[in-house]
């Protein structure tokens, strides 16, 4: 196949933000999670845990809790506001001030008519959920001390509130507190500190379960207000609880990074009476588990170490299947790196700023495995801080490198860049139609900017030295209200393709300025799309790892695609658990498709036979060991390179060298450890044994 010069880029030190809260909607099988920087992410658990939507955060917006009410999603945070999200236009729909100080928790009744929040000032506030907004209804009897956690009894009559040192039960009708359950403090030094009831759960049999800062999970009788059982699960805090829908299983997340499961079973075989018994402990996190969701088949957890972990419960799924494999979602399922191929520039998107880098240069050649001497080091040309506190949603760098655009939930910004004497100029007058840009993309000749807007439409803007002019809006005929999450153009400037979270792919003819065709809808969401520069074939990779190639000229799947579907993809290919996030092509060899996921990049050579189910998929090592004439006999179309970890971008520059941006997560880990090391180096090891004295 050949040698590649690879620019191995590790200076994109992207650090995901800690997971703060999550909520699972079992009807739509969507998990909503919110990070410490306020960013909201929606994962589709029915479609390979694909991260289908992201709403960026905002400076200073600390979301503490999330709550689904039907298909509507609410959040509340320490800024004292309740926010409902617009999941179609990917932005907050509205925000309501609760006037109770910082809000710690949010919840709704089972009927979905009322929303309640727990506030710092000791009030539980009720809001009526109306069709388009929420309206304050009343306060429950005000308490001394903050309300940290809330849970509504399924019948709607009682509410349990976790506070400092106690749990209160309210009568939801009268608003009066009916019981006060005191929660014991920790022993030793923490005796003097108030215990925080971080989480409560009110079950239909009137059992209340609490998790607190003294490391206890406690079972209470909610009718009498008495303690039934205490389980000490950690030396530190129990931060969150989640109960399965059938109330037979309960999970608790701790600040040790463990998740402890309890099940409602009889503890001995002959015993009839069922009780909450501690059953399993999962350790998938290095730091605090801040958020949990108990789905029907899995434990979903997240916290300080930023990874979302889906741990299937082996009694609920078939063993040794893909379903039973644990998933760790560490990086976004979308590309945060944009490569200006012609200019050799890279654009890195961080939540609050952008960086433009020029890749380095080397001279000379080397053998495979060599590192070439770097003649010119990579250079950070521009760092652009986002304006107005809104975080960046999407960004793009034009192929020539002279235009840069980015969008937030409220605006799109366009900049003109110059490199001989580095300067950046904001294009001040943008067409007013260009206010929303879920996805941004430049045409290959850098004369047009495409921005996806509401209801899957695309706004086309012409760019030249003098002005920036609105041309027209491309609209699909399907009437989908979902946002576009993938956008690409063809090299010749004729085609524009969009994909939305309804799994629709629309292709527009830019010359005729109208919809050209809609690719037959496939059940799994597209995760990457690209149009071949010479053949105008559209290559689509889906969340279930299927690959399709669609001829835009013929408006049908290509022969190769049919062959691939007929033979089926290799099982190991299908078992990969991170989505392909980028597809590109080689100008040198039109038969090559280059794509990557988090752990590998792959060059598909369409001229070679497809791997059969019994052939070795990852065969690079084998091929390497074979003499050259033998290799061709064992070669197949999928050339997979696993030299890189945490791959963020694989792109081909004009000089045919590859750019691979990888390993940002390791930077994160070393960052954590650096912090720990400085505080600990003088203590660790030297003192721990003293405990034995």
Partner 1 sequence: MAALYEGYTLCGLVPGQTLTNSGIQGIEAERDSDHVVVTDSTRSVTLYKVSDQKPLSSWTVKQGQTLTCPAVYNSQTEEYVVVSDNKVSSDVWRVHCLPGGEPVVLFQRGAVRLLDSLLSAPQQPIEEVLAQEEAIRWSTNIVADSQQFVIFTTEQKGDSFLYLHRLNPNTLQRYRLEREEPGLSPLSFSASYRDKHICLLYLYPNGHVYQSVVSVRGLGGDEGAQALPLPRSLLLGLPVGEGLLEAASAQLLDEAHVAVVGVPHPSAGAGKDFLCIWNTNFQTLQAGKEMAGKIYGQLWTFSNKLFIPHGKTLSVIPYECPKSSLASALGKLKQAKTEGELKQMSCVPSWNNILHGDKAQPSRPAETRKTVSNFIKTKYLNFSVQTAPVEEVQREVEGLLSRADIQDLQPLVGQLASMLVSRSLADPAFYTPSTLAQLVHTQSLCHSVCPDLVLLALERRDFFLCQLCLQFFPDIPEAVTCACLKAFIRVVIKTGEEDKEKSSTPPEPICPVGLHKAVLLNEVLLTAYSDTFLLPHLKDLSSQHVVLFLQYLQFLYLKYSQDASPQMHGLRSPSLTQIMDWVCMVLDAHFTVLVMTPEAKGLLVNLHSFVKSQVRLVSELGKIEGSLQELNKMKVKKDVGQYSIEIIELF
Q: Which stretch binds partner 1 (CB under 8 A): 133-141, 282-290, 456-464, 544-552?
A: 282-290
221, 229 Cβ separation under 8 angstroms: no
Establish if 380 lies at the interface with partner 1 (CB under 8 A).
no
Establish if 193 lies at the interface with partner 1 (CB under 8 A).
no
Shortest distance (Å) from residue 372 CB to partner 1:
5
Establish if 378 lies at the interface with partner 1 (CB under 8 A).
yes
Residue closer to partner 1 by CB (options 161, 252) is 252
User: What SS3 state is found at 630?
Assistant: helix
Shortest distance (Å) from residue 665 CB to partner 1:
12
- Distance from C-alpha of 480 to C-alpha of 485, rounded to nearest angstrom: 13
Closest CA to 579 of 90, 52, 30: 52
Residue closer to partner 1 by CB (options 303, 386) is 303
List, in sequence order, every residue forming a beta bridge with 259; answer none if it has no partner: 253, 282
Establish if 676 lies at the interface with partner 1 (CB under 8 A).
yes
Positive or negative, the Cα torsion across 127, 130, 133, 135?
Answer: negative
Q: Which stretch binds partner 1 (CB under 8 A): 208-216, 342-350, 545-553, 635-643?
A: 635-643
Establish if 655 lies at the interface with partner 1 (CB under 8 A).
no
Shortest distance (Å) from residue 298 CB to partner 1:
23
Give the x/- contact pattern for partner 1 in 245-274, rule: CB under 8 A: ----------xxx-----------------
Complete DSSP assignment for 560-593? HHHHHHHH---HHHHH--S---EEEE-SS-TTEE
End-to-end CA distance of the chain: 65
Shortest distance (Å) from residue 682 CB to partner 1:
7
516, 536 Cβ separation under 8 angstroms: no
User: What SS3 state is found at 684?
Assistant: coil
Shortest distance (Å) from residue 143 CB to partner 1:
29
Give the x/- contact pattern for partner 1 in 593-632, rule: CB under 8 A: ----------x---------------xx--xx------x-
Establish if 365 lies at the interface with partner 1 (CB under 8 A).
yes
Establish if 688 lies at the interface with partner 1 (CB under 8 A).
yes
User: What SS3 state is found at 355?
Assistant: strand
622, 635 Cβ separation under 8 angstroms: no
Judging by beta carbons within 10 Å of its beta carbon (0-12, 13-18, 19+), is residue 199 exposed, middle or buried?
buried
Establish if 678 lies at the interface with partner 1 (CB under 8 A).
no
- Distance from C-alpha of 535 to C-alpha of 558, rounded to nearest angstrom: 11
Establish if 317 lies at the interface with partner 1 (CB under 8 A).
no
Establish if 574 lies at the interface with partner 1 (CB under 8 A).
no
650, 660 Cβ separation under 8 angstroms: yes
Residue closer to partner 1 by CB (options 83, 284) is 284
Sheet of strand 556-557: strand arrangement: 526-531, 537-542, 547-551, 556-557
Size of the site for partner 1 (CB under 8 A): 68
Residue from 142, 287, 416, 454 in contact with partner 1 (CB under 8 A): 287
633's enclosing H/E stretch is helix 628-634
Establish if 682 lies at the interface with partner 1 (CB under 8 A).
yes
Residue closer to partner 1 by CB (options 5, 342) is 5
Residue closer to partner 1 by CB (options 465, 625) is 625
For residue 690, CA distances in Å to 135, 686, 687 come to 59, 8, 5
Establish if 641 lies at the interface with partner 1 (CB under 8 A).
yes
Sheet of strand 440-442: strand arrangement: 440-442, 448-452, 458-463, 468-474
Site for partner 1 in 3-42 (CB under 8 A): 3-11
Establish if 683 lies at the interface with partner 1 (CB under 8 A).
yes
420's enclosing H/E stretch is none
Shortest distance (Å) from residue 675 CB to partner 1:
8
Establish if 691 lies at the interface with partner 1 (CB under 8 A).
yes
Dihedral angle of Cα 141, 145, 147, 152, to the nearest 10 degrees: -40
Establish if 670 lies at the interface with partner 1 (CB under 8 A).
yes
Establish if 328 lies at the interface with partner 1 (CB under 8 A).
no
Establish if 654 lies at the interface with partner 1 (CB under 8 A).
no
67, 74 Cβ separation under 8 angstroms: yes
30, 42 Cβ separation under 8 angstroms: yes
Complete DSSP assignment for 14-33? --PPPEEEEEEETTTTEEEE
Shortest distance (Å) from residue 620 CB to partner 1:
6
User: What SS3 state is found at 657?
Assistant: coil
Shortest distance (Å) from residue 102 CB to partner 1:
24
Establish if 189 lies at the interface with partner 1 (CB under 8 A).
yes
Residue from 27, 130, 131, 188 in contact with partner 1 (CB under 8 A): 188
User: What SS3 state is found at 680?
Assistant: helix
Complete DSSP assignment for 139-207? EPPP-SS---EEEE-TTSSEEEEE-BSEEEEEETTT--EEEEEE-PPPSGGGGGSPPBEEEEEE-TTSE
Residue closer to partner 1 by CB (options 469, 675) is 675
Residue from 369, 464, 512, 629 in contact with partner 1 (CB under 8 A): 369
Establish if 286 lies at the interface with partner 1 (CB under 8 A).
yes
Q: Which stretch binds partner 1 (CB under 8 A): 14-22, 64-72, 83-91, 673-681?
A: 673-681
Residue closer to partner 1 by CB (options 11, 99) is 11
Residue from 226, 271, 607, 677 in contact with partner 1 (CB under 8 A): 677
Shortest distance (Å) from residue 45 CB to partner 1:
27
Establish if 302 lies at the interface with partner 1 (CB under 8 A).
no
Establish if 680 lies at the interface with partner 1 (CB under 8 A).
yes
User: What SS3 state is found at 453?
Assistant: coil
List, in sequence order, every residue forming a beta bridge with 327; answer none if it has no partner: 310
- Distance from C-alpha of 443 to C-alpha of 690, rounded to nearest angstrom: 67
Residue closer to partner 1 by CB (options 128, 671) is 671
Residue closer to partner 1 by CB (options 276, 644) is 644
Contacts with partner 1 by CB under 8 A lie at 1-11, 188-189, 235-236, 255-257, 285-288, 360-362, 365-372, 374, 377-378, 603, 619-620, 623-624, 631, 635, 639, 641, 643, 657, 666, 669-670, 672-673, 675-677, 679-680, 682-684, 686-693
């Amino acid at each position: 196949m050949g040698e590649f010069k690879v620019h191995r880029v590790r200076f994109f030190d992207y650090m995901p933000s800690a997971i703060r809260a999550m909520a699972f909607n079992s009807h739509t099988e969507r998990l909503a999670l919110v990070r410490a920087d306020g960013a909201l992410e929606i994962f589709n658990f029915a479609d390979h845990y694909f991260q289908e939507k992201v709403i960026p955060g905002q400076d200073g917006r600390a979301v503490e809790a999330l709550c689904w009410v039907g298909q509507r999603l609410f959040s509340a945070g320490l800024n004292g506001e309740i926010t409902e999200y617009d999941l179609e236009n990917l932005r907050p729909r509205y925000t309501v001030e609760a006037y109770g100080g910082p809000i710690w928790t949010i919840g709704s009744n089972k009927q979905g008519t009322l929303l309640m929040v727990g506030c710092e000032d000791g009030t539980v506030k009720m809001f009526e959920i109306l069709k388009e907004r929420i309206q304050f209804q009343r306060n429950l009897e005000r308490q001394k001390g903050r309300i940290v956690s809330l849970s509504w009894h399924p019948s709607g009559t009682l509410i349990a509130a976790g506070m400092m040192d106690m749990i209160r039960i309210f009568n939801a009708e009268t608003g009066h507190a009916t019981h006060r359950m005191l929660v014991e403090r920790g022993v030793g030094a923490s005796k003097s500190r108030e215990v925080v009831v971080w989480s409560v759960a009110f079950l239909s049999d009137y059992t209340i379960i609490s998790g607190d800062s003294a490391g206890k999970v406690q079972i209470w009788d909610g009718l009498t207000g008495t303690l039934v059982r205490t389980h000490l699960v950690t030396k530190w805090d129990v931060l969150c609880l989640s109960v399965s829908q059938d109330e037979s299983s309960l999970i608790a997340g701790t600040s040790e990074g463990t998740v402890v499961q309890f099940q409602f079973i009889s503890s001995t075989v002959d015993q009839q009476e069922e009780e909450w018994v501690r059953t399993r402990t999962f350790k998938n996190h290095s730091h605090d588990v801040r958020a949990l969701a108990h789905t029907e088949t899995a434990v979903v957890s997240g916290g300080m170490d930023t990874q979302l972990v889906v741990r299937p419960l082996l009694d609920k799924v078939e063993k040794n299947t893909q379903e039973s494999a644990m998933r760790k979602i560490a990086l976004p399922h979308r590309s945060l790196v944009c490569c200006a191929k012609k200019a050799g520039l890279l654009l890195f998107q961080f939540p609050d700023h952008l960086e433009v880098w020029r890749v380095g240069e080397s001279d000379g050649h080397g053998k495979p495995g060599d590192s070439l001497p770097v003649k010119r080091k990579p250079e950070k040309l521009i760092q652009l801080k986002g304006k107005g506190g809104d975080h960046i949603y999407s960004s793009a760098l034009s192929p020539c490198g002279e235009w840069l655009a980015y969008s937030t939930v409220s605006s799109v910004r366009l900049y003109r860049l110059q490199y001989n004497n580095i300067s950046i100029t904001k294009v001040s007058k943008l067409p007013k139609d260009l206010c929303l840009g879920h996805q941004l993309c430049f045409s290959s000749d850098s004369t047009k900017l495409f921005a996806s807007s509401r209801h899957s439409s695309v706004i086309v803007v012409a760019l030249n030295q003098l002005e920036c002019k609105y041309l027209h809006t491309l609209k699909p005929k399907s009437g989908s209200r979902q946002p576009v999450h993938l956008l690409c153009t063809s090299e010749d400037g004729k085609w524009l393709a969009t994909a939305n979270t309804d799994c629709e792919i629309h292709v527009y003819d830019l010359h005729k300025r109208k919809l050209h065709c809609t690719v037959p809808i496939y059940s799994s969401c597209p995760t990457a799309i690209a149009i071949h520069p010479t053949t105008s074939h559209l290559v689509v990779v889906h969340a279930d790892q299927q690959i399709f190639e669609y001829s835009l000229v013929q408006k049908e799947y290509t022969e190769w695609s049919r062959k691939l579907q007929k033979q089926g993809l290799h099982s190991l290919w299908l078992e990969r658990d991170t989505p392909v996030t980028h597809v590109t092509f080689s100008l040198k060899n039109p038969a090559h498709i280059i794509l990557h996921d988090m752990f590998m990049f792959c060059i598909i050579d369409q001229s070679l036979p497809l791997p059969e189910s019994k052939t070795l998929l990852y065969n690079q090592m084998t091929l390497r060991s074979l003499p050259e004439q033998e290799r061709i006999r064992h070669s197949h179309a999928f050339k997979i390179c696993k030299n890189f970890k945490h791959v963020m971008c694989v792109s081909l520059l004009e000089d045919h060298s590859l750019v691979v941006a990888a390993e940002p997560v390791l930077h994160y880990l070393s960052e954590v450890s650096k912090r720990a090391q400085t505080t600990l180096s003088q203590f660790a090891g030297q003192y721990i044994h003293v405990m034995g004295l």
